[in-house]
Amino acid sequence: GAADASHVFVQDPSLDAPLGIAVVGNRVLVSMAPALVEYTDVDGDLRFDPRVDRRRVLLDGFAGHDSDHALHAVVVGPDGAWYGSFGNDGADVVDGDGRRFRFKGRGDAPDALAPASDDGRVYVGGASFRFDPSPGREQRARAFEVVAHNLRNSYEQAFTSAGELFQNDNDDGDASRTTWVMEHANAGFASNDGTRTWVLDRRPDEPVASAHWRQRDPGIAPAGDVYGSGAPTGIVVNEGDGLGPRYRGAVISADAALETLLAYRPVARGAGFELASTRFDLVTTNPTRELAGTDVSRGERATGLAGYFVRKAMEARGRGAQEAWFEPIFRALGLDRRYVAPAGADPVRFRPSDVAIGPDGALYVADWLDAYVGGSTMADAQRLGAVYRIARRGAPLPRPAPPDVGAIDGAVRALRSPAVHVRALGFDALRREGARAAPVVRALLDDPDPFVRARAVWLLPSAGLAARARALVHEDAALRVTAYRALRRAGEATTGDALAMARSGDAAARREAALA
């Protein structure tokens, strides 16, 4: 197939290696370290014209220009906040409120302790964060908050409508993972002060899957599904009908090294979620899990003395050494960045780099088609790529018109959308309506679709229905956590609400009370 039409939206000299894109209404967010850039298409012609349209830097200070461990894509959460992530190149960000947040990265002095941020906490490595895009000082986004830190390289994040956050951590080694993210979590990649890698701290009998994410250290969040070698990239939660009932509610994670779209049906277990036992292949061109054209396969070619030097070089990199230090060793051993596919190998492979659910309910997959993935290497001199549309065979898909969120009924239609950023527009419109939206919000609480019910709960405080949300905290087990989160994010949670959660028989409710 081919696109009906395509054209260039913007060309910008600063965009030489962007790692993420998000479209929210007429706003296009591009993640290009050191900055998160917003292009606003004022006239709606889908072409950026600086004479009419606006360009704004929302946040900057993200390390790793032209690195895959830098700033990744933005996604709007069910609470209306905007969320982003970056890898362990680190960051030094000042938001529109003038607050500074520092994250020790892999390029910083290895023996230097991680510095404290203005919120009094110490952060290392990659992180998940949220912010308010409204402009503050120097037009920067406001209310920057850290959701979790000490990730390795979280390419993207995905929310359920209930507010559960999932991410995949990018690693070509033996410890790629898909994880449920708990607020305030330490994800366990580096030591807490940022001075030591997992390789240095690994216990003699500890498996890589445990050591890589410090699962025997106190205060570290559960690692989730650690499934071995891979290179996870985009991730999305499917809450639509376009793929059929079996896949409704599935977390779908793209892994470029495995040439596979992994899928999960998360199951609540204790205060978290079970993922590993629910994993299955949604789409794969590599059922044997061959790791062709990856950093892992390159490392596997290094044995004996060569293997020793490669391991020492990678350990030095883990302690913060720059790549220039060990690249000569790689070249001397015939393991340099230039990748040549073995004779007879397919020069094009399925390399899914992102996944998204469209307004029509179909799954859209971006593929960079390269014979190699990882280590800042590429083998595709033509720089090809493709986008695929996947849906149920034989099932007609709707072509929904853009909803008119200026009217309450249009905003409700948008809130029902399977596309994350379409329903974000509906949520924002209903939230701005305030008490005028109360009747429809109240009605949505009885909607037969559980995802729609969860989305409505987040609107209760803004619609003047905080008392109704408080009732859910006490009475409705299925929505208890979502209701309490909605109250807390709106600044309306009370000590009594927290005590009710803490006394609950539900471990997830007690978790939320502890996190408050």
In a domain? residue 461: yes
CA angle in degrees (0–180, nearest 5) for 68-72-77: 160
Number of H helices and number of E strands within the chain? 13, 25
Are 445 and 486 part of one and the same domain? Answer: yes
Domain stops at, among 390, 423, 456: 390
What pLDDT, on a 0 to 100 scale, did the predictor assign at position 384? 84
What pLDDT, on a 0 to 100 scale, did the predictor assign at position 3? 86
**484, containing H or E segment:** helix 480-489
What pLDDT, on a 0 to 100 scale, did the predictor assign at position 302? 42
In a domain? residue 401: no
What is d(CA 159, CA 154) in angstroms, rounded to the nearest whole number?
Answer: 14
Are 230 and 263 part of one and the same domain? Answer: yes
What pLDDT, on a 0 to 100 scale, did the predictor assign at position 294? 83
E-strand ranges in 9-140 read 20-24, 27-32, 35-40, 54-60, 75-76, 82-86, 91-94, 100-104, 123-124, 126-135
Are 481 and 374 part of one and the same domain? Answer: no
The answer to whether the CB of 431 falls within 8 A of the CB of 448 is no
What pLDDT, on a 0 to 100 scale, did the predictor assign at position 318? 43
Are 240 and 203 part of one and the same domain? Answer: yes
In a domain? residue 397: no
**In the structure encoding, which two tokens stand for residue 441, read together?**
């919000």
Domain stops at, among 340, 358, 390: 390
Are 188 and 324 part of one and the same domain? Answer: no
In a domain? residue 421: yes
**In the structure encoding, which two tokens stand for residue 33, read together?**
């370290």
CA angle in degrees (0–180, nearest 5) for 334-337-338: 80
What pLDDT, on a 0 to 100 scale, did the predictor assign at position 301? 44
**497, containing H or E segment:** helix 495-502
Instruction: Output the tens digit of pLDDT for each of the chain's 516 residues.
Output: 788 899 999 999 999 889 999 999 999 999 999 999 999 999 999 999 999 999 999 999 999 988 899 999 999 999 999 999 999 999 999 999 999 999 999 988 888 899 999 999 999 999 999 999 999 999 999 999 999 999 999 999 999 999 999 999 987 678 999 999 999 999 999 999 999 999 999 999 999 999 999 999 999 999 999 999 999 999 999 999 999 999 999 999 999 999 999 999 999 999 999 999 999 999 999 999 988 888 766 544 444 445 445 545 544 544 444 445 555 655 665 554 445 555 556 667 899 999 999 999 999 999 998 888 876 677 777 788 999 999 998 888 788 888 899 999 999 999 999 999 999 999 999 999 999 999 999 999 999 999 999 999 999 999 999 888 888 887 778 788 999 999 999 999 999 999 999 999 999 999 999 998
In a domain? residue 339: no
What pLDDT, on a 0 to 100 scale, did the predictor assign at position 107? 86
Are 139 and 104 part of one and the same domain? Answer: yes
Are 153 and 45 part of one and the same domain? Answer: yes
In a domain? residue 231: yes
Domain span at residue 320 reads 295-332
What CATH number has the domain bearing residue 432?
Answer: 1.25.10
**Nearest CA among 349, 305, 348 for reference residue 329:** 305
pTM for this prediction: 0.92
What pLDDT, on a 0 to 100 scale, did the predictor assign at position 397? 79
Question: Measured over all CA atoms, what is the biggest interatomic distance in the chain, rounded to whole angstroms?
Answer: 72
Are 321 and 366 part of one and the same domain? Answer: no
**Nearest CA among 483, 469, 500, 512 for reference residue 78:** 483
Are 154 and 173 part of one and the same domain? Answer: yes
What is d(CA 311, CA 511) in angstroms, rounded to the nearest whole number?
Answer: 40
Are 310 and 431 part of one and the same domain? Answer: no
In a domain? residue 306: yes
Indicate the number of domains in the chain.
3
Collect all residues with Cβ–Cβ distance below 8 Å to 269 and sequence separation of at least 6. none
Are 137 and 63 part of one and the same domain? Answer: yes
Collect all residues with Cβ–Cβ distance below 8 Å to 48 and sequence separation of at least 6. 9, 10, 28, 39, 41, 55
E-strand ranges in 351-393 read 352-357, 363-367, 386-390
The answer to whether the CB of 126 falls within 8 A of the CB of 69 is yes
What CATH number has the domain bearing residue 221?
Answer: 2.120.10
Other C-beta atoms lying within 10 Å of the C-beta of residue 499: 11
Are 72 and 168 part of one and the same domain? Answer: yes
What pLDDT, on a 0 to 100 scale, did the predictor assign at position 334? 55
In a domain? residue 10: no
E-strand ranges in 45-94 read 54-60, 75-76, 82-86, 91-94
